[in-house]
Chains A and B, each alone.
Chain A
Amino acid sequence: MTKCNEIVQDIVRSMLRAKLVDEVVAFGRGINESDIVPLFITDEKDAEKIVTISYYPCSLAKLVALYGDRNKKIGLVLRPCDARSLVELAKRQQVNLANIYSIGIECYGVVRAGSNSHQVYIFPDTVQMDGETKPLAEDVLAPNCRRCEYMVPTMTDVAVRLLPDGGCLVDANTEKGQAVLEAASIAVTDMPALDLTALKERAARWKEKDFGELKKMAAKDRLHYWLAQWEKCIKCYGCRNACPICYCKECYLEPEKQIVKNEALPPEALFHVGRLLHVGDSCTDCGQCEAACPMGIPVSKLYHMLYEELSPLFDYESGFDLATLPPVSTISDKDLTKTGVTLD
């Protein structure tokens, strides 16, 4: 996968050199080849550390929202789910999109957290592991990735598209994107039409598998399933801390708020239900919550399932259009009469 790496590195170098951005946030090599950590790059020499391996250990959008300098111009190398999270954060005034140059990498899934001691690159139906290409076994993928149908970064300024032969093409989605490609002297390529039928079928199959059984359950059994999962919770706050949509500076989950009782394990169900109500309408199914959970609670399954129910009801697709605000903030009297979603 050196081609995609090379192109992304080139783009980053060019953005810094042309002073389009002051800093670039991307994943790169840490201690060794498989140690993937977020990098804050200000010197173009460091661009060579960037890797586009199919592993995505945290939300870079959230990192920039929390720790980025709002007055600086920042370049961001993102996968599509995180690019959607960036849009949601912008809607919530947590990032200044005008100052962000986003480079999206086409993505067919990333590996499960904790299984990354390899060099893994995932393609539509193959996986390259430590240099060897094999047919893709779907259990390599993080659970949320198997349900994903947004492979193409249409919401970023620049889109880096992967070709089956390991090559890649670059496209600009915005004027900022064109400026980036100009700086990098990369000609915009006419994108070949992409047939996502097989991948959408994969997503549907896994949604059916992950949600189907739960949906078939009687409401009280479904509630019981989740309560049993939440029994395992050790209140590490990992799901909240990892979630790019959880942005509140003052969080009602904090013990001093006394909404969720402190001094107790597991925390009351409200801990989970409350967070679900807060962010469920905008979940981008990035899977960071589930990857952060020490106890293996299938957190993203719950959030994604609710999102999938709310999305058609409110005609809301999270993470695409900056102008469309999340249902929670636009809810009308009429909306309150809508039925069809059961939370139990």
Chain B
Amino acid sequence: MTEFVPTICPYCGAGCGVLLLVKDGKVTTTTPWAEHPVGEGRLCMKGWYAHEFIYSPDRLTKPLLKVGDSFQETSWENALKVIAEKLSEAKAKDGPDSLAFLSSAKCTNEENYLLQKFVREVIGTNNIDHCARLCHASTVTGLGTAFGSGAMTNDIADIPQSDCVFVIGSDTMSQHPLAARRIILAKEMGAKLIVADPRRVQTARFADLHLKLRPGTNVALLNGIMKSILDHGWENKAFIEERTEGFAELKAVLDTVSLDEAEKITGVPKADIEKAAELYATSKASCIIYAMGITQHTTGTNNVLSIANLAMLTGNIGRPGTGVNPLRGQNNVQGSCDMGALPDLLPGYQRVTDEAKRKKVAEAWGLPDLPTQPGLTLIEIMEAIHAGKVKTMFIMGENPVVSDPDITHVEEALNKLDFLVVQDMFLTETARLADVVLPAASWAEKEGTFTGTGRRVQVLRQAIAPLGESKPDWQIIGELARAMNAEKGFIFASPKEIFEELRKVTPQYAGMDYARLSQPQGLQWPCPAEDHPGTPILHTKQFTRGKGKFHAIPYQAPAESPDAQFPLILTTGRVMTQWHTRSMTGRSPSLNAEFPEGFVEINPQDAKKFKINDKGLVEVSSRRGKIKTRARVTDKVVPGVVYIPMHYVEAAANRLTNSRFDPQAKIPELKVTAVAIKPA
């Protein structure tokens, strides 16, 4: 028997539809899904080869128990018994807040929903977070504060309607290729393209204007642009008047901004700042597309607020071709946030501190109340382990030993734990440190929903049976909950049943069900009622919070600045065919071969200064550690900046990075680290 199973790509947040060819129960290949509205019958390379890791010989097929220094296979029954005992013991001995959980932006909505429910109901803590903390935590806080909704305002399919596309801090052609497709379409239909990035990313080749700003100077650049807009009277006075508040405060800060100063801070010529202001402010419909270059800073929330300021200042929001468009990284990072896999937010972004909302969720779960204190974020969890406050940890599908900042510190923390459970497809660097490892099924082996970057909720379809004894994460959580005697709220025959429950407590999802979501286009939230068509564009008539709120944001320097000892700025990112910690792409031969090893990009001027040869082995060091990798001498990066992709454990950029974080979003400053470089 041979059939094509329509489903969703497991890599980026674009959420392209794919067809998996299943022949006699085996996935044979991936092809584009023509009718799907994001991919439109096209895929990037990761999409075309998304099936390759499924049958990797490294797949875990049985639960593993650490005995001494090595792992032994065990039965599910025994593994769950050990975990249930240890978790119950820890809860009884040191209290629920001595346990911490990491959920996963790679897992489905149903799985994230179920894990946060387990953590809040069965364990009784809000200590649940996940890698959204490392990518768009500042989007959630920033856009939530400014607009009332921390998500992409428009949709990928909407970009071609724009007359000016402003891309800031996003290597879109490498990282969200099917969004880049729309940027190129817009450009070919006459739109202007501005790219702000310290590197000549692929998208910048097509830019009318490339603003090569120094890492960490986004606010200075955006304030400069807004200052220039006000100087020329290009602001949208009617929009400011009718739809926003707080403009006077913003103006007071902008009055203190000088473009000469902005040029000095950012390294972007004043004339280019003014040109960007003109292009963005005077086009009929301008949109902003951004990613980690904006969010991964100690000023991440402020960067996002400044972007919101710029959009509101010119009225570029709520219409086709406009908007503030964070490109979410993971396939389901939008959904994992929507589902409340966050320490301060319940499903649907309802604050744990909001008694009425919290009690409503508790009531739906048949409980009197839920934990009231916000839990710990990702970085705080690691700190709390070092401080002896968190002693037990459960990690579903994440690999913090490679993905988090300052991984030496992370490894020490995880090694210090009394008990660690990791649930994954592979024995990752993190799983190796675990006491129990549970084998999880892959994306092709389970059903559920993923929410893409345009708030598009869509159905992931099961193509094959789970390999070996591996199980979908939702089943594992359900079984664990039952092993801990939490029968009632955790008996689900299918993800569909979980969805029926989660839509009752997630207002944005209230009108969705599997029948509606099963259409190729899915549904875009908010979809509050069963007859509601979904919402392609947010804030059309009014902002989610009523009026849009301007914020007065003065420029602040990053946590680390170059000095005599560490004279260069390291900025990190990704390459086209690798994904995060390579647990999947490193096991996909076609993808891995395109970018098989790590490197550091350095400008020829700096290379000369530090006696670095192209392709030569170098040592890069920071206050936290050092790595060896190969140099690439290239003018792709500006002088004073070096770039290392985050993926390669052998030359891990996160050995160097700083865990200092944004005070509101608690997102670490992965984009600015002071480093030194020398030949190795």
Contacts and interface: CB of A to CB of B under 8 A. Distances in A.
Contacts of A295: 180-181, 184
Nearest to A117: B35
A100 interface: no
Nearest to A30: B6
A58 B185 contact: no
Nearest to A267: B594
B173 A234 contact: yes
B185 A231 contact: no
A31 interface: yes
B252 interface: no
Contact of A296 (B2, B34, B48, B184): B184
Interface string A233-248: 0111110010000000
A293 B23 CA distance: 26
Nearest to A291: B41
B106 interface: no
Nearest to A114: B40
Interface in B85-128: none
B42 A294 contact: yes
A66 B2 CA distance: 13
Interface in A17-32: 23, 30-32
Main secondary structure of the interface of B (DSSP, over half): mixed
Given A67-B23, A117-B35, A265-B202, A292 B6 contact: no
Interface string A211-245: 00000000000000000000110111110010000
Contacts of B575: 263
A31 B35 contact: yes
Contacts of B21: 67
B211 interface: no
Contact of B42 (A38, A42, A238, A263): A238
Interface in A258-311: 262-263, 265-266, 291-296
B35 A294 contact: no
A67 B44 contact: no
B4 interface: yes
A114 B38 CA distance: 9
A185 to B, nearest CB: 29
A234 B177 contact: yes
Contacts of A135: none
B188 interface: yes
A114 B593 contact: no
A266 B206 CA distance: 12
Contacts of A55: 34
B306 to A, nearest CB: 29
A177 interface: no
Given A117-B35, A295-B181, A256 B593 contact: yes
A167 interface: no
Interface string B1-43: 1111010000000000001010100001101111100001111
Contacts of A42: 1
B519 A232 contact: no
Given A30-B6, A67-B28, A236-B48, A262 B595 contact: yes
B567 interface: no
A200 B32 CA distance: 32
Contacts of A234: 44-45, 173-174, 177, 180, 202, 576
B541 interface: no
Interface string A303-339: 0000000000000000000000000000000000000
B185 A296 contact: yes
Nearest to B205: A231
A35 B28 CA distance: 21
Nearest to A295: B184
B38 to A, nearest CB: 10
Contacts of B43: 236, 238, 292, 294
A294 B44 contact: yes
Interface in B174-214: 174, 177-178, 180-181, 184-185, 188, 202, 205-206
Nearest to A25: B2
Nearest to B40: A114
Range of interface residues on B (Cβ < 8 Å): 35 or more
B605 interface: no
A241 to B, nearest CB: 6
A158 B90 CA distance: 72
Contacts of B593: 254-256, 262
B518 interface: yes
A265 B519 contact: no
B35 A34 contact: yes
B647 to A, nearest CB: 13
Contact of B48 (A34, A241, A262, A293): A241
B45 A292 contact: no
Contact of B184 (A38, A39, A232, A241): A232
A37 B3 CA distance: 10
Main secondary structure of the interface of A (DSSP, over half): loop
Contact of B173 (A40, A114, A237, A265): A265
A173 interface: no
B2 A67 contact: yes
Given A31-B35, A67-B28, A116-B34, A296 B173 contact: no
Contacts of A181: none
A238 B32 contact: yes
A294 B173 CA distance: 10
A262 B597 CA distance: 11
Contacts of B31: 58, 241
Contacts of B45: 234-237
Interface string A37-60: 111101000000000000101100
B32, B206, B519 interface centre (most CB from chain A within 10 Å):
B32
A113 interface: yes
B178 A294 contact: yes
A58 to B, nearest CB: 6
B188 A296 contact: yes
A36 B56 CA distance: 31
A58 B576 CA distance: 25
A37 B19 CA distance: 9
A268 B173 CA distance: 16
A49 to B, nearest CB: 11
Nearest to B180: A234
Contacts of B173: 234, 265
Contact of B594 (A57, A255, A266): A255
Contacts of A114: 34, 40-42
B35 A116 contact: yes
A235 B41 CA distance: 16
Nearest to A113: B41
B128 to A, nearest CB: 34
Contacts of A58: 31, 34
A263 B596 CA distance: 8
B573 interface: no
Given A31-B6, A40-B1, A294-B43, 14 more contacts: A30-B4, A35-B6, A37-B33, A37-B34, A38-B4, A67-B29, A114-B40, A116-B34, A116-B35, A234-B202, A262-B593, A262-B595, A263-B594, A295-B181
21 contacts: A31-B520, A32-B519, A34-B35, A36-B35, A39-B3, A40-B3, A57-B32, A58-B34, A67-B29, A114-B41, A234-B45, A234-B177, A234-B576, A237-B48, A238-B48, A255-B593, A262-B593, A263-B575, A265-B202, A292-B42, A294-B178
Interface of B: 1-4, 6, 19, 21, 23, 28-29, 31-35, 40-45, 47-48, 173-174, 177-178, 180-181, 184-185, 188, 202, 205-206, 518-520, 575-576, 590, 593-596
